[in-house]
Structure 1
Amino acid sequence: MKSVLIAAVVGLVIGLLGTPAYIKYLVRLGYGQFIRDDGPTSHHTKRGTPTMGGTVIIAATLTAYAVAHLATLTTPTVSGLLVLFLMAGLGLVGFLDDYIKISRQRSLGLRSKQKLAGQALVAIIFAVLALNFPSDGHRTPASTSISFVRDTALDLAFAGPLLGMALFVVWANLMISSWSNGVNLTDGLDGLATGVSTMVFAAYVLIGIWQTNQNCQITPGPKCYEVRDSRDLAVVAAGAMGACFGFLWWNAAPAKIFMGDTGSLALGGALAGLSITTRTELLMVILGGLFVTITLSVVIQVASFKSTGKRVFRMAPLQHHFELLGWQEVTIVIRFWIIAGLFAALGLGVFYAEWVVGSG
């Protein structure tokens, strides 16, 4: 528990104090956000705001994790390192995308195929490694079984281990791509994606701690959790939570810095990695319900326009629809935070209810 608290505090301090120093550095370099002309006109005033702030979030999370282990004299685990690799790897893809936008002064960075290829490469490496490094003879960081609150009976290795690994790689790529792009779509208003991510990471801190206390290695039983490194995953989540919370001080409206694709892809990757390694893949749909809702708004908009030529929303993603309805940006963000908090609370309730019912 001490390592979890240390990670949260270190992540918070670095996010809070490191961000203004990074803002000054970006201003000196002239690295400002390029704003789309076809977006809400109220966003044009944000042109030139420093971006790539996700670099601070990644650095704060990595540092928090390292300090937590040094302070408690514990060894990092494979599961924790894999989630951090996924976070940093996708952050690098996002950084390249942001850098191209800034250096060429355009709203498009990497081509879609290049971006997807970079995400896929990082995701494949993560997925393959996650099915290796067994502890106590059999538990690996990830499992070929589809999970909800824990692994279900639906095992992708039904036709053999090689096919199971191949199917898991595809499944992991789908989740990682979905969550990284979901956070990316949500990152359209000051503080929105950062605040929502903070809540979901907080939920994973609680899940990791609970899984540690009810782990099969500590308290064996019919409802114990077969998660390889649950305590260390709570440390990772705590570090990311603290980093996002500190960064939010500067990212809240009016934002002094944007996280950019560097941050949104990294945060989505970290959330996907946590869902895979804690065996809560489908529960993440509830925990990150706001990300799902905003992503669905884009899918619905595109599908409707291509099939009927009509738009369901004034603009997608969903937050921009409410902007065009006349809602103030701060109002939208706060109300969406409330909705995100309800989703996170519902997800935790489902998680706990499964254990209570199963133990009854």
Structure 2
Amino acid sequence: MRQILFSALIALGVSITLTPLLIKVFAAKRIGQEIRVDGPQSHQAKRGTPTMGGIAILVGIWAGYLGSHLLGLRYDVEGPSASGLLVLGLATALGIVGFLDDSIKLRNRRNLGLSATGKYIGQFGAAVLFGILALRFPSSTGLTPGGRYLSYVRDYTVVTFGIVVFLLLVCFLVVAWSNAVNITDGLDGLAAGSMAFALGAYIIITFWQYTNACATTPEIGCYNVRDPLDLAVVCAAGVGACTGFLWWNAAPAKIFMGDTGSLALGGLLAGLSITTRTELLMAVVGALFFAEILSVLLQIVVFRTTGNRLFKMAPFHHHFELSNWAETTVIIRFWLLAGISAAVGLMLFYGEYLAAVG
């Protein structure tokens, strides 16, 4: 438990102190966000706000994770695990894709960075490498970070995926979650605050998996997850880093996370869903992100089939802005939705445990 606390506090401290330094550097070099011309007109005032703040989030997460392990040496805590490093590696790889995207936008002074093809190549490449490595590094009990099954709260072992199907599933999850968080990052503090709720729920989920792990407590309802405690440390680092960044990103934002941060955080959700064997549960815990990307898909389908728009603008947080909701009202209410979905996910997780042991 100490290690989880250390991770969150270190990540918080690094993120909250590094972010203002990035603001000063980027402002001095005039590295500012370009705004969509077809977006809400109130957003045009945000043009020039420093971006790529996701650098602070990634550095904070790594600092929290590695720092907690260094401090944990005093308490005979095991070092970094294969699962923890793989999830952070996936997040970092996607953060690099986002950094390239942000850099092109800033260099060309426009709101378009990497082409869709270029971005997908980066996302698929990171996903395939993660998927291949997730099936390696077996523990002493034979558990690997990922499993070739579809999972809700634990593996459905009725059907075993072949390696190709498993990699396709990993690609789908990585692309879906990274783009979902990226799309949600359209209002000041919306993505960072919502991520804190989702990752906070996963601290509880992974710690519960650790205390009821089949490797140490082989009882009814136990969990076959490799390195659940270390994944809790990763989640805590994510909460701390997002909270520290949110201090400066809350409305009116002094800096944006950019694709550097949003793609990395989406990769974090995808990696956690796979390594904790909760791919389906993540859709409930991260329901706000799921709803945001679904609103975009629905907008496209409805417009192409009927010629009418389902929302005034997608993703649907802009729909409420164009319906004369104040930006801060949209943000706070969406935070509430993110908190509710995280709570519902926790209830479903615990309910499944009670059903298993009952």
TM-score above 0.5, yes or no? yes
Give me the TM-score of the superposition, normalised by structure 2.
0.98
The one-letter amino acid paired with 1:323 is E
Query: Deviation digits for residues 39-83 of structure 1, max 9, x if unmatched?
Result: 110000000000000010000000111100011123110000000
State the shift of 1:222 in Å: 2.5
Q: Partner of 2:206 in structure 1?
A: 208
* Structure 2 counterparts to residues 97-136 of structure 1, below 5 A: 97-136=101-140
* Structure 2 counterparts to residues 66-105 of structure 1, below 5 A: 66-73=66-73, 74-105=78-109
1:32 equivalent in alignment to 2:36: no
> 1:114 and 1:154, CA in 2 relative to 1: closer, same or farther beyond 3 A?
farther
Query: Deviation digits for residues 182-207 of structure 1, max 9, x if unmatched?
Result: 00110000000110001001011111
Q: Supply the distance in 1 between the matched residues of 2:237 and 2:195 (Cα, whole angstroms).
A: 12
State the shift of 1:137 in Å: 4.0
Say if 1:123 and 1:173, in contact at 8 Å, map to a contact too: yes
SS in 2 for 1:312: coil
Q: Partner of 2:288 in structure 1?
A: 290
Q: Supply the distance in 2 between the matched residues of 1:220 and 1:245 (Cα, whole angstroms).
A: 36
Q: Partner of 2:321 in structure 1?
A: 323
* Structure 2 counterparts to residues 332-351 of structure 1, below 5 A: 332-351=330-349
Query: Deviation digits for residues 259-303 of structure 1, max 9, x if unmatched?
Result: 000000000000110110000100000000011111111111100
Q: Which runs of 5+ in 2 are unaligned?
A: none
The one-letter amino acid paired with 1:249 is W
Say if 2:141 and 2:215, in contact at 8 Å, map to a contact too: no
Q: Supply the distance in 2 between the matched residues of 1:297 and 1:80 (Cα, whole angstroms).
A: 32
Q: Partner of 2:43 in structure 1?
A: 43
Say if 1:14 and 1:60, in contact at 8 Å, map to a contact too: yes
Q: Partner of 2:22 in structure 1?
A: 22
**How high is the sequence identity, in percent, across the aligned residues?**
52
Q: Partner of 1:277 in structure 2?
A: 275
The one-letter amino acid paired with 1:5 is L
Say if 1:11 and 1:243, in contact at 8 Å, map to a contact too: yes
SS in 1 for 2:280: coil
State the shift of 1:22 in Å: 1.1
Say if 1:31 and 1:48, in contact at 8 Å, map to a contact too: yes
Moved over 2 A (4+): 153-157
Q: Partner of 1:55 in structure 2?
A: 55
Q: Partner of 2:243 in structure 1?
A: 245
Q: Which runs of 5+ in 1 are unaligned?
A: 158-163
The one-letter amino acid paired with 2:40 is P
Alignment RMSD, CA only?
0.8
Say if 2:15 and 2:57, in contact at 8 Å, map to a contact too: yes
> 1:356 and 1:137, CA in 2 relative to 1: closer, same or farther beyond 3 A?
closer
Q: Supply the distance in 2 between the matched residues of 1:25 and 1:3 (Cα, whole angstroms).
A: 33
* Structure 2 counterparts to residues 163-242 of structure 1, below 5 A: 164-242=162-240
State the shift of 1:154 in Å: 4.5
The one-letter amino acid paired with 1:41 is Q
Say if 1:7 and 1:238, in contact at 8 Å, map to a contact too: yes
The one-letter amino acid paired with 1:181 is N
Q: Supply the distance in 2 between the matched residues of 1:154 and 1:191 (Cα, whole angstroms).
A: 42
Q: Partner of 1:301 in structure 2?
A: 299
| Count of residue correspondences | 354
Q: Supply the distance in 2 between the matched residues of 1:134 and 1:306 (Cα, whole angstroms).
A: 47
Say if 1:156 and 1:167, in contact at 8 Å, map to a contact too: no
The one-letter amino acid paired with 1:86 is L
State the shift of 1:166 in Å: 1.1
Q: Partner of 2:262 in structure 1?
A: 264
Q: Partner of 1:354 in structure 2?
A: 352
Say if 1:145 and 1:152, in contact at 8 Å, map to a contact too: yes
Give me the TM-score of the superposition, normalised by structure 1.
0.97
SS in 1 for 2:218: coil
The one-letter amino acid paired with 1:248 is L
Q: Supply the distance in 2 between the matched residues of 1:297 and 1:212 (Cα, whole angstroms).
A: 36
The one-letter amino acid paired with 2:339 is G
State the shift of 1:144 in Å: 0.4
Q: Supply the distance in 2 between the matched residues of 1:67 and 1:332 (Cα, whole angstroms).
A: 36
